[in-house]
Amino acid sequence: MHPRSLKRLALLGLAAAALIAPAGIAHAQPAAPAVKVSHPIPQSLRNEHAEDREKLELLSKRPGKVGEVARKAIVLFDRHAATEAEFIMPPLTLLPVLADGKVTPDMEWAVAMTDRVRAEREQIFQQHVEVTDVLNQLIEAAEAAKDEDAKEFAEAAAGDAMNDVEILEPAVLVIGDYIRMKLAAGH
């Protein structure tokens, strides 16, 4: 089990849902919210999400409290994933180019997104709080059911949620500030 963010897996689920929606998915989960995705997210995150989404889907099919909480988790994660896909993660796709020292006017779309991340930081944090809460519930249910697999998954996901707060979202803000600064300087 890789330590993956449940929120990220939800994001991938969202992306996957967008890709395969026409064919339809036969499962009991609520449909991911419709999101206008104008820019993609980094491929590595999409891959992570695919693995984790699959895992969460499996957990949601387990009997009893573990399955019940996992189903609840999917709803929250899908909601947060919609936020991430819409304006948090896309600017990260620019990092390799920025690291090469290249900034071009066609990157301006990312500034609008990062400004939105800054403006909605508290709401985004609140989504993390709700995700943490459901992960706590999942661990509690997993312990009661002696489900080590589910417990490990929830703990790893919590670690990745903190990764978002500590690294990913601040990095997104820095990307926006950097592009704005460079474009203003005529690069």
Question: Half-sphere exposure (CA, 13 Å, Cβ side) for 92?
Answer: 21
Residue closer to another protein, measured from CB, 121 or 180: 121
- For residue 21, which of 31, 10, 6, 36 has the smallest C-alpha distance? 31
Question: Structure tokens of 45?
Answer: 């995150």
Nearer to another protein, 68 or 155 (CB): 155
Report the nearest approach of another protein to the CB of residue 157 (Å): 9
Q: Please state the closest distance from residue 113 (CB atom) to another protein, in A.
A: 22
Is 88 within 8 Å of 128 (Cβ atoms)?
A: no
Minimal distance in Å, beta carbon 187 to another protein? 29
- Of 46 and 151, nearer to another protein (C-beta) is 151
Helix 169-184 to helix 108-119 angle, to the nearest 10 degrees? 130
Asked if 93 and 41 count as a contact pair (C-beta separation under 8 A), the reply is: yes
CB of 11 to another protein, least distance (A): 17
Binding site residues, another protein, CB under 8 A: 125, 128-133, 135-136, 139-140, 143, 154-155, 158-159, 161-162, 165-166
Cβ–Cβ < 8 Å for 107, 94:
yes
59 vs 161 by CB, closer to another protein:
161
